Structure 1
Amino acid sequence: MGAILNALFAVTIIFFTISSPTHGYDPLDPFGKIIIKWDLLQSLPGHHTVQVTIENKQEYRHVEKPGWKLSWHWENKEVIWGMTGAETTEQGNCSAFAASDNLPHCCLRRPTIVDLLPGAPYNMQVSNCCRGGVLTSMSQDSINHVSAFHMTIGSFPDEDTGEFIMPYDFDIGVPGYTCDNATSVTPTKFSTNKGRHKTQALATWEAVCVYSQFRSSQSPKCCVSLSAFYNQTIVPCPVCSCGCSSSHCVKPGETPPYLEQKHDPDEEVSPVVQCTKHMCPIHIHWHVKVNYREYWRVKITATNYNTMKNYSDWNLVVLHPNLKSVQQVFSFNYKSLTPYHDGINDTGIFWGVKFYNDVLLQAGEIGNVQTELLLKKDMGNFTFREGWAFPRRILFNGDECVMPSPDDYPRLPSSASSSSSFSSSVVSFDTILFCFLLLLLLA
């Protein structure tokens, strides 16, 4: 019996370890990653043409402004002669080509590439370019989650011009992501003439980047508060959910000088939040609103306390056992997430309606978005007892939000509603059965 208990304990520890946000693995999106693909289209001595594609294969994490900044390290002394669909941030020292009619686009050993902005000249564009480095998530947008650009690559005059060699040490320049080195994969095939003819890359490599919330920020970025119609208590976000420093918080009515200063649009601005007990940029409130005979209703509100940022294409991921019975969602888009395709349907993603509430504005009177959802009761497990009506997990833009302690969840009054009596009896029977089986094992 002791061996069995030790084995169960070990499995539990392993489960919570791999589920930890400090690692790249995400149990709600186990196949989520960003892939950097290099297709060698043409290769001549001293002259190589490649297509680089960045694909966001994450269900709910997206790359928002200021966008990706792709960098790598050349194996030898390569130079970029020309680019379309993107550009480097610096040219570097190209004095070795002073005698040439034209200078290379970039001579740095480690170049940094940025996407072109919308409205770039047509002759500089390629397919899937020119969105300022923004990549949507796959659930929210199945088209704009890909970026691409073309490069013509050569080498310095004193270098031996041989075959193309893949660079290494990739970085997409977005906090929280780490990338491995590229590996050779099956060459990509391209369709032309409306699919009637297919061409093939000479060679293809892929580098994979994964996200870690801990690498992105050592402090959480959001928190959750709870309330219900059957209890007057509002359970707030835990104190200091996102840290306790008040040196960069804004008191009501104040506008510190640094808020009026100009900031580099290509750099992520550090949050400056309104002064609260939780000190989080984002606050999510879950309210159990109404109880009907066959349905129950929930109101969700997301409030932006960050005075420095609008959140474009925001999303919420919620884990709750009754999401399999969602009947209607008001004013938000909604999609079920079933990462394991095994019938478990307790997770869903919410996001704003385009041109209506897809941007969560910075702190202020209109710095919030809200919706209500109607869920059908499953009498086999429905109950308002013991905090069942509240979510197990909530994520904002792919980052885990701090939840209140389950001991603090709003409880039913002593005279519990009859709607939960059936499910309570089911739970009680299951508990008795479990205790009986445990006694048999210990006997």
Structure 2
Amino acid sequence: MGFLCSSTSSSIVFKLGVSLVFLVSFSSYTPADAYDPLDPSGNITIKWDIITWTGDGYVATVTMYNFQQYRHIQAPGWTLGWSWAKREVIWGMNGGQTTEQGDCSKFKGTIPHCCKKTPSVVDLLPGTPYNQQVANCCRGGVINSWAQDPATAVSSFQLTVGQAGTTNKTVRVPKNFTLKAPGPGYTCGPGKIVKPSRFVGTDKRRVTQAMMTWNVTCTYSQFLAQRTPTCCVSLSSFYNSTIVPCPTCSCGCRNTSQPGNCVDSKGPRIASVVVPNTGKSLYVPPLVQCTNHMCPVRIHWHVKVNYKAYWRVKVTITNFNYNMNYSQWNLVVQHPNFDNLTQTFSFNYKPLIPYASINDTGILWGVKFYNDLLMQAGPYGNVQSELLFQKEASAFTLEKGWAFPRRIYFNGDNCVMPPPDSYPWLPNTASYKLIGSLFARIAGSISLLLTAFLHGIL
């Protein structure tokens, strides 16, 4: 039996290598679905309640419930859109407003608030006159996550709809709901008529009921929001001088051929490119500091101290985005020792238990009026805290990277982790790591050549 000629073998190896690289790169950041294993039932539910009928339509209260445990809607806030099923118009609104009025030229006398077939609604800003408000409105479109604060995880507005029908049989559910928060990422299902909502009066002795109710469910996909990640993780430990940085090009690569791709923090140009935070509802794309990872946000996990019965971690979140103050930020960390978290020193903490009896995930967020605002890139563009864990004798170890997190999310987006073989290892295991890595590479090369050889035979 003869061997493959060198040119054929090289060609096969090259093709297989390209295929493997493609598969690895594709699987490293999955588009998949809006399903989140750490928040399996998370969604934003929009409830449309018809409160009363009018001469040519109805008055409805529209309420958005953010049932996501840790993903919130930050400034400049949400935008809700839909398509009317018939020729409906919006005569008036409280607690929100449409972004465009549309063509109302056929109306004489009283002019509708909006005549567009596809209206887009935004929340009103804080300080709106009281007579234009409704409950749970007027926060500039900001909705908190359910785990952080259920009381502010709701947003509402009221609208008076005309030319819509005045009975349950003549009203039609709007179509093609869209939710931007503030950019893309959410996919909304169709409106489904459900059992009418019931409302308890302020004195809790009288219950009223909506004339008609439909629900819309919107789910989030990070891949739809932005095809590249938005955060990365770096690691270090007291027992090793090596600092493992974020992987190169985690969120993109420097492009020296295009000025403005990133900003050198030491250059004179920085003062002219920083966009001030004016508070206006405008989406501003990231303008990041020039780094090897090119991420707007970096999380650093440092194993600080190993006590007899406890161990301590320092967590630092750094903002490299000159165009963004992250309000009401949060961090989700998955680590098997969270069941034994004893104390957090300057962050709020709440356990997340997506599956019964498995407490390995926690959400961290800032203390109000102290560090709940992650400032723009610069000397104050970071927040930090320390976590104290109690040791569990049967599980605790500093070997093989056990002390480092399995997964980290920032504001609901999955962050890029360094490859496990790069984690800081204990000094007495460094040689084993080197030998193991060498053998792994040799085994991989042999496997690749053997596969190519067998393919050539078959």
Q: What TM bracket, shorter-length normalisation?
A: 0.7 to 0.9
- Between the aligned residues of both structures, percent identity stands at 55
Q: How many equivalent residue pairs?
A: 396
Q: Which of 402, 420, 423 is the equivalent residue of 1:409?
A: 423
Give the drift of 1:389: 0.4
Q: Which residue of 1 aligns with 2:219?
A: 210
1:253 to 250, 266, 270: 266
Write out per-residue CA displacement over residues 260-291 of structure 1, whole angstroms, 9 at most, x where no aligned residue: 58989323211011000000000110000001
Q: Specify the alignment match of 2:179 in structure 1.
A: 172
Which residue, out of 104, 114, 131, partners 2:122? 114
RMSD (Å) for aligned C-alpha atoms: 2.2
Q: 1:238 aligns with which of 230, 234, 247?
A: 247
Instruction: After TM superposition, list the pairs within 5 Å mapping 1:248-287 onto structure 2.
Output: 248-254=261-267, 255=270, 257-260=272-275, 265-287=280-302
Partner residue, 2:346: 331
The residue type paired with residue 336 of structure 2 is: P
Please name the residue that 1:312 is paired with.
327
CA distance in 1, matches of 2:277, 2:376: 16
> Pick from 378, 398, 402: which aligns with 1:364?
378
Q: Which residue of 1 aligns with 2:6?
A: none
Q: Distance in 2 between matches of 1:261 and 1:144?
A: 27
Per-residue Cα deviation, 1:100-146 (whole angstroms, up to 9, x for no partner): 2x111110001111111101011000100000110000111110111
Q: TM-score, normalised by structure 2?
A: 0.83
Conservation of the 8 A alpha-carbon contact between 2:275 and 2:322:
no
Q: CA deviation at 1:413?
A: 1.3
For 2:303 and 2:178, locate their aligned partners in 1 and report how far apart those are by CA, in whole Å: 43
**Does structure 1 residue 134 correspond to structure 2 residue 142?**
yes
Q: Which residue of 1 aligns with 2:92?
A: 82
TM-score by length of 1: 0.86
Q: What residue in structure 2 maps to residue 288 of structure 1?
A: 303
Q: Which amino acid aligns with 1:267?
A: L
- 1:269 touches 1:308 (CA, 8 Å); kept in 2? yes
1:163 and 2:176 aligned: no
Letter of the 1:405 partner, please give it.
P
Counterpart residue type for residue 245 of structure 2: P
Structure 2 CA distance for partners of 1:164 and 1:144, relative to 1, 3 Å:
same
The answer as to whether partners of 1:250 and 1:272 remain within 8 angstroms in 2 is: yes
Note the alpha carbon deviations across 1:167-210, whole angstroms, 9 max, x for none. 11001122211101100111100011421000000111000000
Match of residue 157 from structure 2: 149
Counterpart of 1:394 in structure 2: which amino acid? I
Kindly indicate whether the alpha-carbon contact (under 8 Å) linking 1:320 and 1:347 is maintained by their aligned counterparts in 2. yes
CA, structure 1 residues 117+383, in 2 after alignment: closer, same or farther (shift >3 Å)? same
Aligned to 1:350: 364
Deviations 1:78-103, CA, capped at 9 Å, x for gaps: 100011111111111111112x2x11
Q: Alpha carbons of 1:263 and 1:294: their partners in 2 closer, same or farther (altered >3 Å)?
A: closer
C-alpha contact 1:45 1:163 (8 A) present in aligned 2: no
Distance 1:35 1:379 in 2: 43
Uncovered stretches (5+) of structure 1, i.e. residues with no partner: 1-15, 417-443
Q: Is the 8 A contact 1:250 1:256 kept in 2?
A: no
CA contact (8 A) 2:277 2:324 kept: no
Q: Distance in 2 between matches of 1:243 and 1:262?
A: 25
1:71 to 70, 81, 90: 81
Counterpart of 2:68 in structure 1 is 58
